[in-house]
Structure 1
């Protein structure tokens, strides 16, 4: 995505400058407004260089900043602020002890920004590739309410939840992906090397081959002749798909389609609802207005389709509709969520009930992920069995037919 340099005024009328990565200038303006800053000027710019020493090779090989670095930073900063350590001294200590040197340079830049009079949220906003819009909005709320240390503790819990979700998904998908890749490699080897060898033997029989064998030999000949083209098409399709889902329309359609996938779709939906409930509860407990809260929560669900429905909820609430009515209209929430929203809105305990919804869906997602391999395994076994059956029939039917002919002679 392109980068935009901005000049803006904060709540105290002070000039704030920085660089943000966003699809367009309108999205930059919206992000600034959501964090309490009024933009004055927004212009395209190049990606900001951080550090820059060592030249392009050093920047290319430098250690990447991971989410765990931001998570640990949040927990450490909470501990320091709670102990009464001034934020400048705390950041200096964290910078010196940072294991990830790239993140240490980010902390150094934040310190320089604070020295020049910027607020912490404005200083962090200079690094959108490190701190998400939700993270920045929560820090901004902590500055406004004077509860910055509590915000960092809640952000640590939120990032821990996100990390566990990603790890569970990767663990659950490891076995199915290994089986699929192994099947693809086996099919390629058989078509490129095994079937051509059998085809030479069958050519000496001077007999009509079974239909299944003809199909296998025809497909094998096609692969042997055009495998560079097929490889180029597969690689090109992969790049085209990545470019497509990088667009707003492509990401929206792909995320909507993912919800319809068998087995995986319900896990994606429950995971998104768990993120929504956890983020909404966090924003609500931190004192974020509900309209602004929904706007930043939409950026945490990791699904463009559901995010658009949450944005639709925000628009409905701005028109004066109730949370329950807008949630029903959104059409993505389960009856359990809607019932809890109704009770929470009636009793004023919406944040607590959202926490319970998040815990419920976290448990369900955890169970679904633990049983994902066992759910996919029958499908993989059936698919593997069909492939083996087709190959066996295609390869051995001619030999079987020749054997019967020899017995009748």
Structure 2
């Protein structure tokens, strides 16, 4: 007999944890029900988590080898399952067919593992919960809601659409980050090459003249000497600083402070707010339309956000809704959503068409995010070009001024 660790809910709604011995997960679920509990999660073996001084679980090397799946493959598999389920094919046969259809052995193994859990008596949602790196909380919650409501095929189709939109939004963010970074590196490299190689050769001719040089030329010579003597050291310092920053970002408190600063920045903060609110509205819309309770949907939707400050504010909003406050009023207190979005949500609450209004708000906010990204790029690109032009102009003037002095001196003679 194997030992199973379980998480369950008693009749009063309180969460309980414990262990039972059984021959199979199905037998374990039966024993848990005999105790008057409703099992929500069952895992074979006793989990041993090492807790550090901060109270959080320590890093496990096994997490590095957990199976993963790209959004494109997950979307394809989700649509395949939805198509076969809508054709009234039994779930076990559906999963077997999808696994056989998949050309990636690792992905096929994941689907087969899910099918085995389903054959053991677990629900599809509980079976998928065993692979958190593939099926996140949002995915599992929606599948569970689809199973309870009997509309699993519709829910899976929505999930596939959501995964595609999520991939498109991620690509937009990547584009917004890569372009200015590459442009900055090219600009800094060009100026660095000018100061370290071209300028010293020209300046050497001026130094041989032993004449007084203009102040701009003296400044340029000093900058050129600094770049040649300390350029490599400066790059090392910047590299070490970047590594220290990345390490510090693993600390939740420091990361939250950085995210708070990002939200307050003029252009970047607006882009970050529109990205997080668009993702939140889209997630909440798809969860609520799939019959997931509003408070549970708000919790799952807030967990999908990347900004910790925004995540905390929206978690507080879900608690206010739990206490009886309206959704639109609770969201307005987070100071994250646009007035238009809040009006749309409030209208949906009053008219009873919250799903429809959440969907429109999500679309509107996604378009707002795209506009903010385009505006940020439109502002950054000319500023960088102008800045580079000013530096190059300063170098040219610093070189031309001594040449003009020489011409004046020769002409005077």
TM exceeds 0.5? yes
CA displacement at 1:78 relative to structure 2 = 0.9
Task: State which of 150, 164, 171 in structure 2 corresponds to 1:146.
Answer: 150
CA displacement at 1:165 relative to structure 2 = 1.4
Question: C-alpha separation between the residues in 2 aligned to 1:14 and 1:250?
Answer: 34
Question: C-alpha separation between the residues in 1 aligned to 2:400 and 2:104?
Answer: 59
Question: C-alpha separation between the residues in 1 aligned to 2:40 and 2:266?
Answer: 53
Partner residue of 2:42? 16
- Extract unaligned runs of 5+ from structure 2: 10-36
Q: Which moved more, 1:382-391 or 1:117-126?
A: 117-126
Query: What are the superposed Cα offsets for residues 132-189 of structure 1, whole Å, 9 maximum, x if unpaired?
Result: 2222222222233332222211111111111111223334555434322210211221
Task: State which of 265, 282, 287 in structure 2 corresponds to 1:278.
Answer: 282
Helix, strand or coil at the partner of 2:95 = helix
1:364 and 2:378 aligned: no
Partner residue of 2:345? 341
Helix, strand or coil at the partner of 2:135 = coil
1:135-284 → structure 2 map (5 Å cutoff): 135-284=139-288
CA displacement at 1:204 relative to structure 2 = 0.9
Task: State which of 110, 117, 123 in structure 1 corresponds to 2:121.
Answer: 117
1:330 and 2:334 aligned: yes
Give me the CA root mean square deviation.
3.2
Question: C-alpha separation between the residues in 1 aligned to 2:198 and 2:190?
Answer: 10
| CA 404–124 in structure 1, closer or farther in 2 if over 3 Å, else same | farther
Question: C-alpha separation between the residues in 1 aligned to 2:370 and 2:165?
Answer: 11
Q: Which moved more, 1:108-117 or 1:310-319?
A: 108-117
Query: What are the superposed Cα offsets for residues 317-365 of structure 1, whole Å, 9 maximum, x if unpaired?
Result: 2222222331222121211122222222222222211111112222333
Task: State which of 81, 84, 106 in structure 2 corresponds to 1:102.
Answer: 106
Kept in 1: contact 2:50–2:57 (CA 8 A) = no
Query: What are the superposed Cα offsets for residues 97-156 of structure 1, whole Å, 9 maximum, x if unpaired?
Result: 323333233223323333443332233222222222222222222233332222211111
| CA 152–201 in structure 1, closer or farther in 2 if over 3 Å, else same | same
CA displacement at 1:93 relative to structure 2 = 2.3
| CA 350–192 in structure 1, closer or farther in 2 if over 3 Å, else same | same
Helix, strand or coil at the partner of 1:298 = helix
Partner residue of 1:351? 355
Helix, strand or coil at the partner of 1:126 = coil
| CA 65–14 in structure 1, closer or farther in 2 if over 3 Å, else same | closer
Partner residue of 1:315? 319
CA displacement at 1:84 relative to structure 2 = 1.6
1:64-83 → structure 2 map (5 Å cutoff): 65-83=69-87
Question: C-alpha separation between the residues in 2 aligned to 1:83 and 1:174?
Answer: 43
CA displacement at 1:301 relative to structure 2 = 3.2
Q: Return the index of the structure with the highest Cα Rg.
A: 2
Question: TM-score with structure 2 length normalisation?
Answer: 0.81
Helix, strand or coil at the partner of 1:16 = strand
| CA 176–228 in structure 1, closer or farther in 2 if over 3 Å, else same | closer
- Extract unaligned runs of 5+ from structure 1: 27-41, 53-62
